[in-house]
Structures are given as C-alpha cells and as structure tokens.
Amino acid sequence: MSRDSAEHICDVQGCTDKAERSISGKKVEMTDLALKSEGIRQDHLCKTHYREFKKETKGTIPDYMG
C-alpha cells in the first residue's frame, strides 16, 4: 500500500471511515458492496468493509499469500 493511504476514505457509499486497504476494482465489483463510483482501478476499503469483502470472496479468489 502506498504511503499516502492515510489520506484515503473508504469507497463504499455512506462510509466516511479511513481506508485501511486498497483492492483491485475488478475484485470488489464481484461483491455486493455498493461503491461510490464504478470502474476505478483501485478501490479503498475501511477495516469493516474489507472484512465483508473477504467473507464474500472466500473461496472464489485464490489466495497466493502462502
């Protein structure tokens, strides 16, 4: 993640929390998360929405982290 990630806000509609992670836009579009704008290369998610993303994509997106 880039150094300026502290400046980002979560890209989910209605959320104003600080972004913790940035995820590929294509992967986030596979979920039911309502984003502020579609077709962005990297979406920023807060801790709560990142957990939702992980739960929804568990088993569908390969985890290459060992």
User: pLDDT by residue (tens digit) across 26-56?
Assistant: 888 888 888 888 777 899 999 999 999 999 8
Range of the domain at 36: 3-57
| Structural domain count, the chain | 1
Residue 46 lies inside a defined structural domain of this protein: yes
* Whether 33 contacts 12, CB under 8 Å: yes
Residue 62 lies inside a defined structural domain of this protein: no
How far apart CA 4 and CA 2 sit, in angstroms, is 6
Residue 65 lies inside a defined structural domain of this protein: no
Q: How much is the average pLDDT of 15-35? A: 90
- pTM of the entire predicted model: 0.75
Residue 14 lies inside a defined structural domain of this protein: yes
Closest CA to 8 of 30, 29, 36, 27: 36
